[in-house]
Structure 1
């Protein structure tokens, strides 16, 4: 193995996209992860290019929902009561960030990343000759109850205020485009500036292939600790130590410990545990991603079937997965289609989505440029990976990515 001049810690979609970008800039790049590339949260995300999601998952109504979050193990937003003492400081910070000025800064920060996401993905996939992995055919948010129309209208207005392309579709228009959906669908919002990936894990694999061809090396190893010295950085691992001139921390929900070791900054990073259920016999139900307003989950058509996803659970990194939450997604789908979805051969999954209390990632260069940071993208990691890689490439060059102030480490 040749000596790297930059080590990327994390082989998810963010780390791999950044590694490819850095290699193309002439850097000697080593990617380190205890798992094979793409086997963390990047393996099982919803596959939706969610450029329309410019608002945080939480608003002030979370206070009213807190009892249900604690008591309903199958609810769309779940807080494990055993995890509450650990999560409480994080939730306090989340609530503080819902104050009007803070909330608007969050929305502006998410929007700035999302507005650049589709173009960045187009450039990245074209550069590796795999543009067909992304379907740019929009997505749909549907509602079933007449009393939901007011909430949908309010959401449409808020989206338009943020310059998010959106159009109202009647129930008949929806069934004309998606005839498998039931007559219960009253209408919905169509987002033309979105899309979906046919297989998120395959996207990572194709980026890994391109990265290897550009000289990137991959090492399956656990990083335990690190320090900054005069020469650069040194990392201790579960085997021999590693060193380089620079490091990029891009290991998602596992980034806090190494960030603290290298920078001295304690980051309030938690995890939104996300679940999916893959239905292998449902290949032709939907032409694009469809989300239910009332049922609060998304259905994305993929090469291997139909993926149901979208629940959020706060229970930390150590508690075992509650796969009943994944199977609950199939129960939620009942009544959305003219004929119920088949769960034969279905496979459940759970992954950790890294989340900070202001719903913005950390993208920064610190420690005299020796430490680069790209983590905390919550449920928008896939959406924002390509644009993040472009920004990290600029940071590694010593330049300035566009308007990085909302994402800097020193905001904490």
Structure 2
């Protein structure tokens, strides 16, 4: 017979990634007794291997109408920057259909407004959170750069700059000499780029999760290493079915990223159209001081972020679900993409590949909500922006827990599905 454990807590947070840990800390600081639950150690999912870029400039949905032209290449090119595994196509088709419907002008504008609203509060929320734990040095607020190498790319750069300014994103057009002055190791082939001053990067994203987790433990949060496999609502709370028996708690916050759909449906009855973008990175531990800040290539479609452990190359997207094994050739492809971007090629000795799951909804907005008479809270679906939006999401969840009015919350409600 399965054992039942009823911990002396006010809420269980399911998911110990950057969003879940930030929420657990915020809830504990407002006086809640919190149990953090995850099948892995804190920060070992997508939070471990993200690009580390605090991407406040990325205010547009994850796709635009050009995805229609790219669909054949997505299916045929296993190494392309955007890959759809043809074996996964039948399962992905309903999600992609919703994605295409959200590319119509009105839904697209709503999505951009919702992403922008979260991003505009993200940097200040991160400053408050890191200052509160005495770790402000983990985040470098030194901007980021999108470079281009071909003259024919200049119209796209100009158009993007105009679109960014329409969204009130701070952006500067840099000519080649400005790029070389800031990042002298980049190749002479770089013709210029867009600099985003109100962005930054983490020196070690996983270390950031660990620092927040330590602060959460110091604030009284408990941690249980369990695999939450299902659950149901009770008259006075929530019963969570785990690999070690049943957990009964008054409330639950679902913040387990790409794994959130099943538990959300079990507790709320809503089938959330959540899919996963499998993201890859290649970590180059022998590469230090090549770049002063995160640099993205327009044509090559990947990002390079300087970190304390070396240079991280990231940015490739693959739709293949949660079950198929990783194709680490996609991670190594990032090293090939870097060739020609620097005056001296990158050193890939002792490089390590990685793959993780980005939780994405077809309108590119997360779900941040309080449902089921306050017994269930939700904070997942941040797609590429989980790291960027974690601190501001935690502040919103804290408001929802206390049933306070949270500005702009309507855009992120579960009820939109």
Q: TM-score, normalised by structure 1?
A: 0.99
Aligned residues: 412
Q: What aligned pairs does 1:1-400 form with structure 2 within 5 A after superposition?
A: 3-400=8-405
Hey, what's the Cα distance between the residues in 2 that align with 1:356 and 1:89?
Answer: 12
Unaligned runs of at least 5 residues, structure 1: none
Contact in 1 for aligned 2:16/2:41 (Cα 8 Å)? yes
Q: Secondary structure at the match of 1:228?
A: strand
Deviations for 1:233-281, whole angstroms, at most 9, x for unmatched residues? 1111111211111100000000000000000000000000000000001
Question: Shift in Å at residue 228 of structure 1?
Answer: 1.1
1:168 CA drift (Å): 0.3
Does the residue aligned with 1:281 lie in a helix, a strand or coil?
coil
Shift of 1:49: 0.2
- Check the 8 A contact 2:282/2:335 in 1, yes or no: yes
Q: Deviations over 1:208-247 (max 9, x none)?
A: 0000000001111011111111111111111121111110
What CA distance in whole angstroms lies between the structure 2 residues aligned with 1:206 and 1:57? 30
Following TM superposition, by how much is the alpha carbon of 1:2 offset from its aligned partner in structure 2, in angstroms? 5.0
Give the Cα separation in 2 of the matches to 1:176 and 1:260: 52
SS in 2 for 1:311: strand
Query: 2:188 and 2:295 mapped to 1: Cα distance?
Result: 15
The aligned counterpart of 2:3 is none
Deviations 1:315-363 (A, max 9, x none): 0000000000000000000000000001000000000000000000000
Unmatched 5+ stretches in structure 2: 1-5
Moved over 4 A (4+): none
| Distance of 2:133 and 2:148 partners within structure 1 | 38
SS in 2 for 1:310: strand
SS at match of 1:268: coil
**How far did 1:204 drift?**
0.2
Once residues 240 and 71 of structure 1 are traced to their aligned partners in structure 2, the CA distance between those partners, rounded to angstroms, is 45
2: CA distance between counterparts of 1:142 and 1:106?
Answer: 26
Cα RMSD of the aligned pairs, angstroms, is 0.7
Quote the Cα distance in structure 2 between the aligned partners of 1:67 and 1:357.
20
Q: Name the SS for the 1:183 alignment partner.
A: coil
Q: How far did residue 111 of structure 1 move?
A: 0.2
* Counterparts of 1:370 and 1:128, CA distance in 2: 29
Q: Secondary structure at the match of 1:317?
A: coil
Q: Take 1:128 and 1:269, find their aligned partners in 2: how far apart are those partners?
A: 33
